[in-house]
């Protein structure tokens, strides 16, 4: 461990405490790998009444949320507050929904008067905090730099115990049983350096005094095994969950050790037989395969898996150097900011770099789904990052790349519930006798065959999905083709037939398959300003009139199609398959 703090970089944000807090957290991640940090900062500002108000800013789902510090401090001093009421009271500190309530550890951060507070939970610090000889070892490793907070039953007692330790001017950190290490300072740099050096000292001690357990030889985990386990756990919990698989040597060793039973449920592959009906299933240990964490989003699932690994490693470290004090350690609390319509669902959208594909990826993400956008555009990763999704560059006409795409999705997220097969191109218009053969073949390759290849490799995993559905993006041209658009119209017509066959084949498996036929979606790259003006002029109307050239006189946007995809993927269409759904404002040629 070595600090990566750069004074020049920090100086750029020193006048913005939230940016400085974010910089300190990011720098710690670069300095110390594999150790989660939860860092907070206190700021004071004057309200409309001319009174100073101090807020504690905590990280939550990619941003910082301000909480009333004074109210938090008072909550931390309440002995009589029932634990079930605490989330509501914590949410009121920041006018949040109860589902967005911060963790109870927030009370400890509020109680410590220092501006910056870091909370780390490495295997080494956790082993030390829950060690039978915690006081003597702490003095040996840190001297007077770190104090030990006695284990307390209530959070209020824990707050009082920590406050009693803060009198020492030499104090840089506090070890808290079941929690780890709290470090603090009024200066971001000093807090960061303390966090790094104290974690390094704890790790160095255990490296020299304990022996690592060699894991058994790994048993390769097949993607279908992962998808099957995720399906089992999701069904057991009653809703879709994301699965993160930690197959590190340490996790594989822990999964096959005597410690495994205390870290979560253990399966031997026969999930029905080895996982009892009342077994907690947010953490699953599979001997020789590793640890699986489950959550409503990838971040939560990763935290669950990491937590189990850290607790297991901490127990091994402590037991190798004296003994572990067995207590109940609360796992990571749910971090999802809301219950979306498709929360926990895993969705793949092909052709998602722009237009309908991008809008669909956006609406699915907003609905709570974990979205993977696939596109030949090399910028797809940054495009998807902008909406909180994962982008993967892939040529969907290359079967090997499609197969690799599906495998990556299963290994990163655990399964596949929603496939939106959207990739498409519009080749140069030409009458049949003038058409270049290359345009015909290219249209068929992208607009038809790539969808068939995607289905071929996705279907085995979609069958293991939760309320699974496949949605194709077709075209009005299927039912109302245009002259000079044979290559496009024929490919989309064949795609519709592919959808119908897939609906017939997959209905017995509980997989719904439908197709959307959009028309006149003018906010795509296909329709430039010049193209719109030319088309409107040809009809003798304005561009705005041309955009609403349908029976309902309404404008169809990419998001209109994306919203329809979300609806089709939801329970609202749970009984619908094989349907062709127009999103066109009404077309008299079709009606």
Residues 6+ apart with CB under 8 A from 352: 358, 360, 361, 373, 374, 375, 380, 383, 384, 391, 422
**How many other CB atoms sit within 10 Å of the CB of residue 327?**
9
23 included as an active-site residue: no
Query: In angstroms, what CA-CA distances link 27 with 1, 32, 152?
Result: 12, 9, 32
Tell me if residue 148 falls in helix, strand or coil.
Answer: strand
- What is the rounded distance in angstroms from the CA atom of residue 502 to the CA atom of residue 507? 8
Strand, coil or helix: what is 256? Answer: coil
By C-alpha distance, which of 546, 487, 540 is closest to 522?
A: 546
At 579, list the tokens.
């349907």
List, in sequence order, the alpha helices (H) in 321-429: 355-366, 380-385, 399-413
Q: Which residues contact 397 (CB under 8 A, 6 or more apart)?
A: 445, 446, 449, 450, 453
Nearest to 328 by CA among 179, 143, 543, 482: 179
Q: Which of 23, 205, 488, 546 is catalytic?
A: 488
Structure tokens at 493: 């017509």
Q: Which token pair is 97?
A: 């929904």
Could you tell me the strand order of the sheet in which 290-295 lies?
A: 242-246, 290-295, 283-286, 265-266
Which residues, at least 6 apart from 139, have a Cβ–Cβ distance to it below 8 Å? none
**Number of other CB atoms surrounding residue 45 within 10 Å:** 9
- With residue 34 as reference, give the H or E element that holds it: none
Buried b (16+ CB within 10 A) or exposed e, 508-544: eeebbbbbbbbbbbbbbeeeeeeeeeebbeeeeeeee
Q: Which ranges of 166-286 does DSSP label H, i.e. alpha helix?
A: 188-209, 223-237, 249-255, 271-274
- Left if phi > 0, otherwise alpha if psi is -120 to 50, otherwise beta: which for 279? beta
Q: Are strands 116-120 and 180-185 parallel, antiparallel or unpaired?
A: antiparallel
Q: How far is CA 238 from the centre of its chain?
A: 19
**CB neighbourhood size of 417 (10 A):** 27
Other CB atoms closer than 10 Å to residue 40's CB: what's the count?
Answer: 27
At residue 358's C-alpha, the angle toward residues 352 and 364, to 5°, is: 105
Q: Indicate which residues carry an active-site annotation.
A: 488
């Amino acid at each position: 461990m070595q600090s990566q703090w750069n004074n020049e970089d920090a100086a750029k944000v020193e006048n913005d405490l939230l940016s400085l807090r974010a910089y300190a957290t990011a720098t710690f991640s670069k300095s110390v790998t594999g150790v989660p940090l939860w860092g907070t900062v206190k700021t004071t500002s004057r309200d409309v009444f001319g009174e100073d108000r101090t807020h504690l800013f905590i990280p939550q789902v990619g941003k910082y949320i301000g909480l009333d510090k004074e109210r938090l401090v008072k909550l931390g001093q309440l002995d009589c507050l029932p634990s079930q009421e605490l989330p509501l009271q914590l949410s009121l500190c920041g006018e949040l929904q109860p589902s967005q309530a911060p963790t109870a550890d927030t009370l400890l951060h509020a109680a410590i008067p220092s501006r910056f507070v870091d909370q780390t939970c490495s295997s080494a610090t956790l082993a030390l905090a829950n060690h039978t000889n915690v006081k003597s070892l702490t003095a040996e490793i840190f001297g007077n730099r770190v104090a030990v907070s006695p284990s307390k039953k209530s959070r209020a007692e824990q707050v009082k115990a920590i406050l009693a330790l803060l009198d020492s001017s030499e104090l840089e950190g506090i070890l808290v049983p079941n929690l780890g290490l709290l470090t603090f300072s009024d200066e971001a740099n000093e807090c960061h350096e303390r966090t790094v050096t104290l974690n390094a000292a704890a790790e160095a001690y255990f490296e020299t005094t304990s022996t690592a357990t060699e894991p058994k030889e790994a048993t390769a985990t097949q993607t279908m095994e992962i998808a099957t386990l995720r399906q089992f756990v999701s069904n057991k919990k009653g809703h879709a969950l994301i699965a993160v698989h930690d197959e590190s040597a340490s996790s594989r060793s822990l999964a096959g050790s005597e410690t495994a039973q205390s870290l979560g449920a253990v399966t031997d592959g026969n999930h029905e037989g080895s996982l009892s009906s009342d077994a907690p299933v947010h953490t699953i240990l599979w001997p020789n395969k590793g640890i699986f964490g489950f959550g409503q989003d990838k971040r939560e699932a990763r935290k669950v898996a990491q937590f189990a690994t850290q607790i297991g490693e901490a127990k091994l470290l402590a037991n190798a150097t004296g003994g572990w004090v067995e207590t109940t350690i609360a796992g990571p609390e749910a971090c999802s900011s809301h219950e979306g319509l498709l929360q926990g669902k895993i969705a793949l959208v092909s052709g998602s770099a722009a237009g309908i594909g991008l809008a669909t990826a956006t609406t699915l993400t907003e609905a709570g789904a974990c979205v993977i956008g696939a596109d030949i555009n090399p910028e797809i990763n940054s495009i998807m990052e902008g909406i909180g999704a994962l982008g993967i560059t892939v040529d969907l006409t290359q079967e090997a790349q499609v197969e690799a795409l599906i495998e990556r999705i299963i290994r990163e997220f655990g399964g596949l519930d929603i496939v939106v097969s959207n990739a498409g191109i519009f080749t140069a218009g030409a009458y049949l006798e003038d058409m270049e053969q290359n345009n015909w073949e290219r249209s068929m390759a992208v607009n038809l065959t790539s969808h068939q290849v995607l289905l071929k490799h996705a279907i085995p995993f979609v069958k293991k999905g939760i309320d699974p559905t496949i949605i194709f993006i077709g075209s009005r041209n299927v039912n109302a083709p245009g002259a000079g658009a044979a290559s496009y119209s024929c490919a989309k017509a064949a795609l519709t037939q592919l959808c119908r066959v897939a609906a017939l084949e997959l209905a017995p498996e509980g997989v719904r398959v439908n197709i959307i036929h959009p028309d006149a979606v003018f906010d795509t790259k296909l329709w430039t300003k010049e193209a719109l003006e030319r088309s409107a002029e040809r009809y003798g109307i304005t561009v705005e009139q041309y955009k609403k050239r349908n029976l309902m006189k309404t404008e169809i946007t990419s998001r209109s199609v994306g919203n329809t995809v979300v609806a089709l993927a939801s329970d609202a269409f749970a009984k619908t398959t094989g349907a062709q759904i127009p999103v066109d404002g009404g077309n008299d040629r079709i009606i």
